Amino acid sequence: MTAVIVDVDGTLAEFHPAQVHEWVLGPAKQWDPFFAHMAKAPVIEPIAKLVKLLKAQGQQIIICSGRPDSHREHTQAWLTRNAIPFDAMYLRPEGHDHVDDEAVKEALLSTMRDDGFDPWLVLDDRDAVVAQWRVLGLTCLQCAPGDF
């Protein structure tokens, strides 16, 4: 299944690191205020449009985020409300709040491949994560400044 991996915060959903850093950019996460805030995040229209075009061309869309799997329904609801098509969603495993985003996503890539997906392209925003995707051999299009 030829697939494109798409991040959420800062890629599909408007995200301002200064507004959320106390909740999610350190090792101890506070997910409830983060999700209350991000529930209202506007969609980033050019990326939403690109994802829809890729889907219409027959690509599988894989949502991959450092958001926690324990709060999966929040992310699912936001994607549905904003009419973002996706075929699978891979999120931070429970008990891994202290793990850096790039390490979380490296592990999720292995799981995707085990599940039969063949990703060839990634859309992401955070510098450290973009660098890691490239180390892993994937082409990553960085869609916004990501030095945080």
- Residue 37 Cβ, how far from Mg ion at the closest point, in Å? 15
Contacts (CB under 5 A) with Mg ion, residues 24-63:
none
CB atoms near residue 42 (< 10 Å): 8
The site map against Mg ion for 84-123 (x = CB under 5 A) is ----------------------------------------
CB atoms near residue 47 (< 10 Å): 21
Which CB atom, from 3 or from 44, has the smaller least distance to Mg ion?
44
- Residue 58 Cβ, how far from Mg ion at the closest point, in Å? 25
Q: Is 9 in the site for Mg ion (CB under 5 A)?
A: yes
- CB 4, CB 59: distance < 8 Å: yes
- Cα four-point dihedral sign 128, 108, 43, 57: positive
- Residue 3 Cβ, how far from Mg ion at the closest point, in Å? 18
- CB 89, CB 112: distance < 8 Å: no
Segment near Mg ion (CB under 5 A); pick from 18-26, 39-47, 108-116, 124-132: 124-132
Q: Is 125 in the site for Mg ion (CB under 5 A)?
A: yes
Q: Which of 10, 12, 61, 90 binds Mg ion (CB under 5 A)?
A: 10
- Beta partners for residue 89, in sequence order: 63
Residue with tokens 């205020």: 33
Q: Is 7 in the site for Mg ion (CB under 5 A)?
A: yes
DSSP notation for 60-89: EEEEEEEEEGGGHHHHHHHHHHTT---SEE
Q: Which residues bind Mg ion (CB under 5 A)?
A: 7, 9-10, 125-126
